[in-house]
Structure 1
């Protein structure tokens, strides 16, 4: 049995109006339908604002508005959910009229109502009477130190997502060192389990039991890390409680599952924990009910080597039961393909970025990275004990261990949004696709590859709302590759083609291009992506000086380009004396 050792990768509310874009459709008679996108976002609506043109009978006499509504009501009465009568509620000081429905309307019904209102003679415009909410700025005393939530070009933008979703109803299992008592997280815990079988590793005098508390993982002269407590705080620390820090999904619940102790943790224990937390059966351990199992598993842990069969089978089982598995890429400044579980399939593999929006120097990288998140100097809950538990505290840690819970928490936000709207929860594959398609590009460097970019919690949560009545299914991303070797000779230009077919629409703003070029003096090279219409997107313009090779992943805004057609990677050698090879390139959109 594989006993590989795994280790931790070490409201004061102000009223802010946040509205959807003001794009307006136009009815046949010229009436504008304003903010239709907001109605299509998946929420329910019951009020509308209608403005009649000057000179109309309705504009002169509010009583005429009620008569005009009869035609619209005749159409709305055909709804499968029962009659939804529209009535005149009041006239505004601006001269527009507020129209109310007799009950809350679904997104589709609200769009239909706006179309009927816009079709009434004399209407100038119709818009939803949107409900505004205070934008949450947590009053946690150290929130201003948590750059990972709000930094403009490196944060996950959770502060804007919290007005839409907070994680309610979602459980995140943290497979780690267990949980130390901390007032800023205790209220957000559900029952977990201690899966460590070795009493030497467990340090608590026994093997597996229902107590996932962290007795301290000090070993070999190293102090206890309280790693699991730090990770749990990033996922779901209590927020807006006037103390400490905020959590990514602060109304979600954390399930502490202890798998790491003194000296690390074994593959066999971790695999059992993955199975159990996702609702599977483990001999000798009570099986969780459907309502108790975790929707998300976070594993901020890893070891060297490729993904083993035991770990992969456990992950596959969890995914088949609907649990999304998020893992840390590792902290060796190396390709993630050489580490596990970062190299496992069916996981969301997370690299770390700094507050400067660049890859953290320690973070693993490569084509197996899915997304990136803040992981340098991340403040969260901790314990002051050097060996055994002491007083609760807070501290900043750095590592992909800190990046991963930002992503796990964002998954909780997304799924809680689905839950609140009565929409089916996303499958793990859909979650991964959503995070990738809503991520944004790093502002700084990411040598080696940082996946689709930094996750954007607000965009992901908005997309989860089911806009357009389509259920909110994330667009499917695909990776296309050309793995043929192309020789790069002195003062020549090569083109390596990839043909895309069977897709529709335009490429996204977060398309990902990975290149693998061996070439001494990479400063000789101009590397460009050539779109099917001939448009050029520069990847590297004779940069890097005398450094060798160009290997990395780059995020490019291709939203003006059609997906289908032949794409080329163009490499121009512009100096004498050095040659090389384009070994492989991929494009993901």
Structure 2
């Protein structure tokens, strides 16, 4: 069965994501991000101001003419090269005359030339652009230095960190060594909006002072914050364990510390693990606590991360270029989230968010907000992870670990920093987890590498380069040919290389469809294409349809196209492609929802069950378009299971006594319906019924799953209330 409506038991959300903070964080005496030790590494690539070699490829007809002609000079490659600067009067962009000298031949039609002095990358790129305009020349490029791919000396890197290694480790690896040759994230700040951090020894040196944005609960207590106070400058994680309160019992997950390690654990320090951007700094912003967090606190944290003012909070002068949000909740993007995202993008920063871990064909907010880079997860073999949400708004897939949905694999997870405490923090440790939270952290790390490679990147440029660098989803995998899985698999090395080359067009696309265009409506498709660094003009722009019932595209050979929504089909996918005069191309895919309304769940009365007995019931929903419906369940009691495809709830040996509330949300793959809460009351033999709590409002994404354990659910109802000793051993064990 398809695990998103046909197959697997429903795998509900996991944990939040934390950041790091301590106000006393300090930089190491030596920058390990730049200490490339050991035989596995070679010298760094050419410094930016030491380039002087170019490769010239002559057109075949020019070579033939030279070989048969009578002019000895034209048969001499050295003279041909000298003639370029003499006859063409080559100059830099600043007008300085450039002299070329022949160095050697690669073949009869390919020669290496050197400039009269070393140049910076901008100067030599301008020279290359001028030479490409010569009719005799087929191609010109910088003769780049190629070096051994850097492998950090962290003790667990080769043995455990498959997700950071080259493709030799698996088709789903992130291919970071080639990127680290060029960038480690130095000078870039990544804000992590999460549940806090622990000062782990393999992480702490890369942590900046952050802030705790968790405000008081409506009751005036600080049950969510769990640290005895409200907003303050201490973003450390005190633990998010839950005993018998308004969310399911669970141990502390240290999810934020794990995600933080994936982003920026100290690298090349002969210890532990290496972060994706181990030269970057982390700005921890604590927005999630026990049972979740408030949208308002998260939106405030987003603004603060990019230096915007937040009333009552000290100004932040450590402005983040990347915001990692390994969290989410179901539903369309809220106005509060979209407003915060818009402000972040306007400030020149990017938002990277998790799609969720519910095996659903709809993604969480804020991943589904306009402008956000939504990240789904894949396994070591590149297959989409069985738990990972996909849907409109998914931009890319990254290593999240676990088993794939269609291709058999070994289920390896993501190894990173954590803590041994079941409730309060204890000692440092490294552990495995899986989830779209971890996938999101990989993408945030790559974004930091890209910003180091080119600090002037705009959010639109970064997104375009990132998705165009992605590798295709593997053949036979769940996402092969499926547009709602994003552009493909994250490739760190190619992403950084594309930024450095910077010569392909930058593309973006949008439509007027909104959440769903009605039948017979005319939908406008707008493509935007900007020239790359070489400034080559555009040769063509075009739109093509790649999925959905066939429609007629008006204006397909241009930047602006349109189509009329037919009676059938609720999803139409298109590709906008731009080609420049140098033959460089870039594209972006756009999914347009249409003919669609959200499914409606049929209300269910409160269910009663005797303690120790079994309870089973099924839910149903209606969909006006007749689309296939899947279901997502939240706040499942410990020991209960839910089948996302059939909507069947099962609870064997119901216990302990008490009232429970299970939230169930229907989805047609594009839109999620309203959540309906089913009351469940476990009574002693002969006892009467009782009411059930309601009010689910926040879901945390990410995984606290250890090897062999199931997914952890953290859902927010009201502020959790504690009494007595915290429960110490409540992890849900479900099939992995």
Is TM (by shorter chain) over 0.5?
yes
Does 2:509 correspond to 1:445? no
Which position in structure 2 is the counterpart of 1:213? 236
CA 313–125 in structure 1, closer or farther in 2 if over 3 Å, else same: closer
CA 202–12 in structure 1, closer or farther in 2 if over 3 Å, else same: farther
Measured against aligned partners, the alpha-carbon deviations of 1:36-64 in whole angstroms (never above 9, x if no partner) come to xxxxxxxxxxxxxxxxx99957999xxx9
Which position in structure 2 is the counterpart of 1:173? 191
Which position in structure 2 is the counterpart of 1:160? 178
Which position in structure 2 is the counterpart of 1:355? 380
Matches within 5 A, 1:54-453: 69=82, 72=85, 78-81=91-94, 83=96, 85-86=98-99, 99-104=114-119, 105-112=123-130, 128-144=142-158, 145-149=160-164, 150-151=166-167, 152-198=170-216, 199-220=222-243, 221-289=249-317, 292-337=318-363, 339-376=364-401, 377-419=413-455, 424-427=456-459, 429-443=460-474, 444-446=477-479, 449-453=484-488
**Contact 1:378–1:398, Cα closer than 8 Å, also in 2:** yes
Question: Which is further off, 128-137 or 277-286?
Answer: 128-137
SS of the aligned residue for 2:394 comes to coil
Does 2:465 correspond to 1:465? no
In structure 1, distance between residues paired with 2:371 and 2:430: 33
CA 55–172 in structure 1, closer or farther in 2 if over 3 Å, else same: same
SS of the aligned residue for 1:283 comes to coil
Which position in structure 2 is the counterpart of 1:37? none
In structure 2, distance between residues paired with 1:192 and 1:176: 11
CA 86–269 in structure 1, closer or farther in 2 if over 3 Å, else same: same
Shift of 1:172: 0.8
RMSD, aligned α-carbons: 4.9
CA 84–275 in structure 1, closer or farther in 2 if over 3 Å, else same: same
**Contact 1:480–1:498, Cα closer than 8 Å, also in 2:** yes
Query: Number of residue pairs matched?
Result: 490
Measured against aligned partners, the alpha-carbon deviations of 1:245-282 in whole angstroms (never above 9, x if no partner) come to 12112212111111112222111211110111122110
SS of the aligned residue for 1:413 comes to helix
Does 2:489 correspond to 1:454? yes
Which position in structure 1 is the counterpart of 2:620? none
**Contact 1:118–1:126, Cα closer than 8 Å, also in 2:** no
Question: Which is further off, 234-243 or 71-80?
Answer: 71-80
CA 70–188 in structure 1, closer or farther in 2 if over 3 Å, else same: same
CA 101–117 in structure 1, closer or farther in 2 if over 3 Å, else same: farther
Which position in structure 1 is the counterpart of 2:635? none
CA 128–410 in structure 1, closer or farther in 2 if over 3 Å, else same: closer
More helix by share: 1
In structure 2, distance between residues paired with 1:128 and 1:448: 36
**Contact 1:441–1:555, Cα closer than 8 Å, also in 2:** no
In structure 2, distance between residues paired with 1:359 and 1:396: 18
**Contact 1:138–1:239, Cα closer than 8 Å, also in 2:** yes
What runs of 5+ residues in structure 2 fail to find an aligned partner? 1-12, 19-37, 47-52, 217-221, 244-248, 402-412, 529-538, 555-568, 580-584, 588-624, 629-667, 671-736
Measured against aligned partners, the alpha-carbon deviations of 1:444-489 in whole angstroms (never above 9, x if no partner) come to 1137931222222233222222544xxx652234579997889xxx
**Contact 2:509–2:525, Cα closer than 8 Å, also in 1:** no
Shift of 1:498: 11
Shift of 1:21: 13
CA 81–401 in structure 1, closer or farther in 2 if over 3 Å, else same: same
**Contact 1:512–1:554, Cα closer than 8 Å, also in 2:** yes
**Contact 2:376–2:394, Cα closer than 8 Å, also in 1:** yes
SS of the aligned residue for 1:202 comes to coil
What runs of 5+ residues in structure 1 fail to find an aligned partner? 33-52, 487-496, 517-527, 533-549, 564-579
SS of the aligned residue for 2:353 comes to strand
In structure 2, distance between residues paired with 1:484 and 1:334: 24
In structure 2, distance between residues paired with 1:27 and 1:207: 72
In structure 2, distance between residues paired with 1:555 and 1:12: 47
**Contact 1:433–1:475, Cα closer than 8 Å, also in 2:** yes
In structure 2, distance between residues paired with 1:57 and 1:273: 68
Of structures 1 and 2, the one scoring higher in RCO (CA 8 A, sep 6+) is 2
- TM (normalized to structure 2)? 0.56
SS of the aligned residue for 1:315 comes to helix
**Contact 1:297–1:408, Cα closer than 8 Å, also in 2:** yes
SS of the aligned residue for 1:200 comes to coil
Which position in structure 1 is the counterpart of 2:63? 30
CA 557–16 in structure 1, closer or farther in 2 if over 3 Å, else same: farther
Which position in structure 2 is the counterpart of 1:476? 508
In structure 2, distance between residues paired with 1:553 and 1:455: 24
CA 276–343 in structure 1, closer or farther in 2 if over 3 Å, else same: same
**Contact 1:248–1:410, Cα closer than 8 Å, also in 2:** yes
Measured against aligned partners, the alpha-carbon deviations of 1:203-226 in whole angstroms (never above 9, x if no partner) come to 222211112112222222422111
- TM (normalized to structure 1)? 0.69
Which position in structure 1 is the counterpart of 2:27? none
SS of the aligned residue for 2:393 comes to coil
In structure 1, distance between residues paired with 2:58 and 2:320: 42
In structure 1, distance between residues paired with 2:235 and 2:198: 9
